[in-house]
């Protein structure tokens, strides 16, 4: 008797989302018994996929459900990426880095419905509850120098901002260098981790990680995040995570194919929320107050200090808190 993977059955139900599929049809399609169909449906429910059942009609994933599907995402990108979806991972970046070290090819994408130890910049933890976010990592093997690594993060920020806007209809902003905001609240963070060749100084591989708050978790965000975190939408929207993931991968692929051309400079700059504002520049030596006055073509933030000094920042941390 044929073994039916949960992924196959999930993809079948998703392809007809909002419509009942009879147990007889499922059994006939995969050459399995009705009892085996029931067991597979139970497995889908255990994995967090909402499957409705009606004795006279069959099984259905409700139209409102936002269920991740690697095959749907890959299909929407024209098959340009190898997209793999997991119900839970410690961290998509950590898992994909292991795959990169084992020689995985560029274009491999890991997406998790939940992360147990999601990570952000500066070693911060990233809240990653099930069913409410898009947690994804993309393996890249770019032919660029270490000095150009910032282009990956900024291209990703522009691409994700555009993808979120296309799907949600809401205008987004970018807080230099890697946070995406809606209504002044953070809805997406980006973490790029790279391995470098000691001999050439070039990048061996880069893992581009993105965490998007699609909607607010039940019970709200953790207390320490409630003043800064936001969400793309207020309630589940059919296929939103798949559409945002595919939209991002498509747009990022266009930018990534010509990183040095910097075609994403204007989309990035037009959404940059810091220009003209007073900010805190946070350095190992301490924090200084400055004003953000511009962005150069290498995506370095130009700041001006009260004593007239100017500086181009290529990394580090800036904050607008307690300065506005």
Task: Compute CA distances 162 → 102, 109, 193, 228, 317, whole Å.
Answer: 33, 19, 23, 21, 24
Task: Compute CA distances 30 → 37, 42, 304, whole Å.
Answer: 9, 17, 66
Confidence check: pLDDT of 299 > 60: yes
What class has domain 70-271?
Answer: alpha beta
pLDDT at 303: 97
For residues 306 and 111, the answer to whether their CB atoms sit within 8 Å is no
Band of the pLDDT at 323, cuts 50, 70, 90?
A: very low
Higher pLDDT, 199 or 135: 135
CA torsion, ordered 188, 189, 190, 191, to nearest 10 deg: -150
Instruction: Look at strands 317-319 and 278-283 and give their pairing.
Output: antiparallel
Q: Where are the domains of the chain?
A: 6-60, 70-271, 278-319
pLDDT at 216: 87
pLDDT at 220: 81
238-287 pLDDT, tens per residue?
Answer: 889 999 999 999 999 999 999 999 999 999 999 999 999 999 999 888 89
pLDDT at 123: 53
Instruction: Look at strands 82-86 and 108-112 and give their pairing.
Output: parallel
CATH of domain 278-319: 2.30.30
Higher pLDDT, 6 or 99: 99
100-153 pLDDT, tens per residue?
Answer: 999 999 999 999 998 887 665 545 555 567 788 999 999 999 998 888 899 999
Instruction: Look at strands 286-295 and 82-86 and give their pairing.
Output: unpaired
Fold (topology level) of 6-60: Arc Repressor Mutant, subunit A (1.10.10)
pLDDT at 224: 77
Q: How far apart are CA 69 and CA 71, in angstroms?
A: 6
Q: For 307-324, what is the mean pLDDT?
A: 81
Confidence check: pLDDT of 201 > 80: no
Round the average pLDDT of the chain to a whole number and report it.
90
Band of the pLDDT at 4, cuts 50, 70, 90?
A: very low
């Amino acid at each position: 008797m044929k073994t039916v993977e949960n992924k196959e059955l999930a993809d079948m139900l998703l392809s007809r989302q909002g419509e009942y599929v009879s147990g007889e049809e499922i059994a006939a399609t995969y050459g399995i018994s009705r009892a085996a169909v029931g067991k597979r449906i139970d497995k889908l429910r255990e994995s967090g996929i909402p499957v409705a059942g009606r004795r006279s009609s069959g099984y259905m994933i409700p139209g409102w459900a936002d269920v991740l599907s690697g095959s749907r995402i890959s299909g929407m990108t024209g098959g340009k990426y190898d997209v793999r979806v997991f119900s839970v991972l410690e961290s998509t970046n950590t898992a994909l880095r292991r795959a990169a070290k084992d020689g995985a090819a560029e274009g491999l994408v890991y997406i998790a419905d939940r992360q147990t130890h999601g990570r952000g910049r500066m070693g911060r933890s990233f809240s990653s509850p099930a069913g409410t976010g898009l947690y994804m990592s993309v393996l890249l093997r770019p032919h660029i120098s270490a000095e150009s690594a910032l282009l990956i993060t900024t291209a990703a920020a522009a691409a994700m901002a555009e993808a979120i806007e296309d799907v949600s209809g809401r205008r987004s902003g970018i807080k230099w260098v890697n946070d995406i905001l809606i209504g002044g609240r953070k809805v997406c963070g980006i973490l790029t981790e790279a391995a470098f060749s000691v001999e050439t100084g070039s990048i061996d591989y880069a893992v581009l990680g993105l965490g998007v708050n699609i909607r607010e978790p039940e019970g709200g965000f953790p207390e320490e995040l409630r003043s800064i975190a936001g969400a793309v939408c207020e309630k589940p929207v059919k296929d939103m995570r798949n559409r945002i993931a595919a939209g991002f991968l498509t747009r990022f692929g266009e930018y990534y194919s010509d990183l040095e051309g910097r075609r994403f400079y204007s989309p990035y700059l037009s959404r940059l929320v810091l220009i003209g504002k007073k900010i805190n520049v946070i350095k190992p030596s301490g924090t200084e107050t400055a004003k953000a006055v511009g962005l150069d073509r290498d995506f370095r933030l130009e700041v001006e200090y009260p004593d007239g000094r100017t500086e181009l920042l290529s990394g580090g941390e800036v904050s607008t808190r307690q300065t506005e």
